[in-house]
Amino acid sequence: MTRAIWLFAVPAIAAFVAAVTIPLILPWLKQIALAKVTDRSSHTVPTPQGGGLGVLAGIVVALAFLWAIGFKPLSFAETAALAGMAALGFVDDIHPLPASRRIVAQSLFLLIPFLPLAQVPPGLIVLFPAFAEPVFRIVVVACGFIGLLWIVNLTNFMDGLDGIIVASYAPGLLMAGYLLLVLHGEPFGIVALAGGGALLGFGLWNWNPAKIFLGDAGSLLIGLITAIAFWLLLLNHEWAAAFLLWLYPFADATITLAKRLARREPVWQPHRQHAYQRAVDKGLPVRFVSSVAGGYALLAIFVSYAVAGQNAGIGAIAMGATSLVCGAMILIFHRGARTVR
């Protein structure tokens, strides 16, 4: 089977399996993983979470299909890390775990796929030749690991509105899968394609009003896949794609964290200070907010495709212009309905 067929077959299989799995597990999740309505909730009716199990099912079946035809994009340990991250999230969906235990477990599951990729992105060495030195190399790789761990967690933080994770992440994962697999021959591109497809299948049940939430089971899993795809894009000189494909969730979560740290607030406690949450609180419809996030994601994939393989100057211009669009979107969210009347 050619790579061109994989580009369609893998996400299609993952989407189909995720879409049909959700209604099968929905009655069970209503009994054990019901998200109650609190003052920090964006939903008004108790709704089951744990839909990430359907996403995991879609990814696993898609990968099993590839294994059956003789292609193994992941080792057994890496596959176990994905499943382990989803299992950790599902346990947290049912019985909330202390933040310290979550971070330790997340770090271990992230470390498994990260270790074979523990090198300084070549683009950084071009800019700063000193990074090639052993001491600096260790520091850069360690900082990279911390950054990827933040991506895992910010994905969890961004999962607070019907459809927003699907809209913000699925297009980027599909484009990352294409770039990694077709342009650079990276087998992990298959996993990104499966993750994007599975999210789309889950999205049929998560669009407003959502019948099910992704939960930590799904957000941590998608965060892990996104983190590794992001790092591989950097290693393969696709800097524009790495930063633009998920710039909105990266920026929203990071800016919010910085503000909370500046105010010395407990950053691990739930809140309603993200731009997408403020947008809804200030009168913008949920579907509008998620659709705008999806609109940015679509713009990002077109820009990333257009500048793939181009020189650094073109990529920098594309990153700057697209970042302005993302910044404008975040400002609109903070101002709420006043900006769209």
CA distances from residue 137 to 119, 121, 284, 310 in whole angstroms, order as listed: 7, 10, 46, 26
Report, as an integer, the average pLDDT of 320-333: 95
Helix (H, G, I), strand (E, B) or coil at 191: helix
Instruction: Give the whole-angstrom CA distance, residue 152 versus residue 50.
Output: 17
Q: Which range has the worst mean pLDDT, 21-35, 225-239, 285-299, 321-335?
A: 21-35
> In the structure, what pLDDT confidence band is assigned to residue 270 with cuts at 50, 70 and 90?
confident
Beta strands in the chain (DSSP E): 34-35, 47-48
Distance CA 325, CA 169 (A): 17
Q: What is the mean pLDDT of residues 9-26?
A: 96
Q: What is the DSSP letter of 96?
A: P
Asked if residues 154 and 223 have their Cβ atoms less than 8 Å apart, the reply is: yes
151 DSSP β-pair partners: none
**CB 64: neighbour CB atoms within 10 A?**
12
User: Over 80: is that where the pLDDT of 267 sits?
Assistant: no
Task: Inform me whether the pLDDT recorded for 338 exceeds 90.
Answer: no
Burial class of residue 291, CB neighbours in 10 A (0-12, 13-18, 19+): middle
Domains of the chain: which residue ranges?
Answer: 3-239
Tokens of 270: 């739930």
- 3-state secondary structure at position 70: coil
Q: How many angstroms separate the CA atoms of 63 and 154, rounded?
A: 26
pLDDT digits (tens, 9 = 90+) for 156-198: 999 989 999 999 999 999 999 999 999 999 999 999 999 999 9
Q: Give the per-residue pLDDT at 117.
A: 95
Two tokens at 279?
């947008």
The CA-based angle 169-20-287, given to 5 degrees, is: 40
pLDDT tens column, 45-55: 778 989 999 99
pLDDT at res. 40? 62
Structure tokens belonging to residue 263: 């105010």
pLDDT band at 265, cuts 50/70/90?
Answer: confident
How does residue 37 score in pLDDT terms, banded at 50, 70 and 90? low
| Residue 5: predicted pLDDT | 66
Could you tell me the pLDDT band of residue 68, with boundaries at 50, 70 and 90? confident
Q: Is the pLDDT of residue 43 over 70?
A: no
β-pair type (47-48, 34-35): antiparallel
Mean pLDDT of the chain: 91
**φ and ψ at 219, to 5 degrees?**
-65, -40
Taking the CA of residue 70 as centre, how many other CA atoms within 13 Å lie in the half-sphere pointing to its CB?
A: 2
Q: What pairs with residue 34 in β-bridges?
A: 48
Confidence of residue 235 (pLDDT cuts 50, 70, 90): very high
78-132 pLDDT tens trace: 999 999 999 999 999 998 889 889 999 999 999 999 999 999 999 899 888 888 8
Calpha distance 305→131 (Å, rounded): 29
Going by C-alpha positions, the residue among 291, 312, 170 that lies closest to residue 178 is 170
How do the residues of the chain divide into helix, strand and coil, expressed in percent and rounded to 5? 75, 0, 25
